[in-house]
Chain A
Amino acid sequence: MKECFMAIEDVLSSKGRVKILRILAEIGELNISDIARRAGLNYATTNQHLQALENAGLVQHKKFGRIRIFRFNEENVRARTVKKLIDFWNANK
């Protein structure tokens, strides 16, 4: 899938997206239902956010049968930077 540029304000202006990124930074790998449950969002919204984040190259998924497991896209510099930011944020509460 070709990555499209997503302006930083578009990523960070959505509370849902930031929550999803934080959860993935904290836990590592998760499937959509689990992300939705932890973020307090519904499945469809979570799915849309994840698709947007994946299009922007920030997250990636692996498919096992019907299950999709998402995680940060470690190969993407922006993804790594966002993850670092969240880690730093959490470590300095």
Chain B
Amino acid sequence: MYSSVFKDEGKLDINYIPPSLPHRERQLKLLNHFFRFAIERPGKMAQRVLITGKIGTGKTVISQSFGLNIVKEAQEKGINLQYVHVNCRECKGSLFQILQRAILKFYPRFPRRGFSAEELLQMLMQVLDARNAYLILAVDELEELIRSAGSDPVYSLTRVQESRPEAPQRLSLICILREPEHLNTLDPSTRSTLQRNIIHLEEYSTLQLRDILNDRIALAFRNGAVSEQTLNFVAESASSEGGDARYAIELLWRAGKYADASESLAVLPEHVRKAAVSIYPIVRRDAISSLSLHEKLFLLGVARSFKQTGSAYISMGEAEDAYAVVCEEHDEKRRGHTQLWKYITNLSALGIIKTEISGAGRRGKTTLISLPKITANDLEQELSNALYKKKR
């Protein structure tokens, strides 16, 4: 009987935090150094650290790994220090949602609406006081927050301690963003507070990617399932994609899936090639998993509609009809036209779909949707997986 090449494919999940981070030891040490005070003199100061680097350079994982360790260390010393990691894209660039996630860590049943973001920030400080807790809030994809709300939310977050000079300093920040240029849109004072401690992550080289993949292969694959040659091939492919470790790991996972599908005992370069063709740099698993439930349902409707019609474009009306069917299938109440329109804007900003206004040759005016970068089949597959995962 055929047995999978994987031993534990969960170790290749984008949310998995490995026990060691090859070639990021120095940066992790620096991060620990910046936050030493949180263990040695909690409440005496608050820290703001900026982590920058391109996609797949380890920004998120370095922060999460640091968070896990420092919380453990604080616990051993009897300090109530918590680490909360929020992704601004998942929060739709809303300070309210970011703060809400932080408060829910302490009070899981805290009322979810009825206040402004400013009010919620003050509440967060009161909650921290009430629990005698300290919080390191990691704000991932900060550019999304800046883009949607300008510099005010960042200003509030960085300056909240100043309104309570006598009280212990409880809120520290780790801001994560791809391009430091986004900070230029902030006002000078906020920018200067943020830019004091910067950790910049360079792209990984082929050799570094090799080490990372090697670690993951040992965790995720059966012994001998991935040859040296395959490993080098994956590392080189990812290196040419801009030293993106996330891409490398996803490529490896997909190649493993192709190996399983063909009942091969090992992952071969041919599987990697197939996997490389199936990964679209813009439509990645993480882009899809960050969508809201109804965005996924809508996109699933769009994908199915393309599959059925086989045409290059579908109209907004056709997309809505297909979405209605998907909603019925998933037992969800369908959203209205205006909401769907917002989804379309977002999906097209993410590059998953493309939209244009219908011109001559069609009666009336409608939005035409096309899928420039992914086949309808693949998109449907991805969405079905993501929706299935959520249901489980």
Determine the distance from Cα of A26 to Cα of B208 in the docked complex, in whole angstroms: 51
Residue of A34, A64, A65, A66 touching B109 (CB-CB under 8 A): A34
Contact flags (1/0) for A21-64 with B, using CB distance below 8 Å? 00000011111011000000000000000000000000000111
Kindly state whether residue A4 has any CB partner on chain B within 8 Å.
no
Residue of A30, A31, A34, A65 touching B126 (CB-CB under 8 A): A65
Of the listed residues B107, B119, B126, the one surrounded by the most CB atoms of chain A closer than 10 A to its CB is B107
CB within 8 Å of B: which A46-93 residues: 62-67, 69
Contacts of A64 in B (CB 8 A): 110, 123, 126-127, 130
Kindly state whether residue B111 has any CB partner on chain A within 8 Å.
yes
Beyond A30-B109, A67-B110, whether A62 also contacts B130 by CB under 8 A is yes
Contacts of A67 in B (CB 8 A): 110-111, 115, 123
Q: How large, as a class, is the contact surface on chain B?
A: 10 to 19
Residue of A29, A63, A65 touching B107 (CB-CB under 8 A): A29
Contacts of A27 in B (CB 8 A): 109
Contacts of A31 in B (CB 8 A): 109-111
Contact flags (1/0) for B111-138 with A, using CB distance below 8 Å? 1001100010011001100100000000
Contact flags (1/0) for B153-189 with A, using CB distance below 8 Å? 0000000000000000000000000000000000000
A66 touches B115 (CB 8 A): yes
Residue of B111, B115, B127, B130 touching A34 (CB-CB under 8 A): B111
Min distance, Cβ A16 to any Cβ of chain B, angstroms:
20
CB within 8 Å of A: which B61-118 residues: 107, 109-111, 114-115
Number of A residues, CB within 8 Å of B: 14
Min distance, Cβ A30 to any Cβ of chain B, angstroms:
6
Determine the distance from Cα of A69 to Cα of B126 in the docked complex, in whole angstroms: 12
A65 touches B123 (CB 8 A): yes
Contacts of B109 in A (CB 8 A): 27-31, 34
Determine the distance from Cα of A34 to Cα of B108 in the docked complex, in whole angstroms: 12
Residue of B111, B115, B127 touching A33 (CB-CB under 8 A): B111
B122 touches A65 (CB 8 A): yes
Determine the distance from Cα of A64 to Cα of B109 in the docked complex, in whole angstroms: 13
B111 touches A65 (CB 8 A): no
Contacts of B127 in A (CB 8 A): 64
B115 touches A65 (CB 8 A): yes
Nearest B residue to A30 via CB reads B109
A interface residues with partner B (beta carbon < 8 Å):
27-31, 33-34, 62-67, 69
A-B contact pairs, 10 of them (CB 8 A): A28-B109, A33-B111, A34-B109, A34-B111, A62-B130, A63-B126, A64-B123, A64-B126, A64-B127, A67-B123
Considering the complex of A and B, which 3 residue pairs feature the smallest CB-CB distances, nearest first?
A: A64-B123, A64-B126, A65-B123
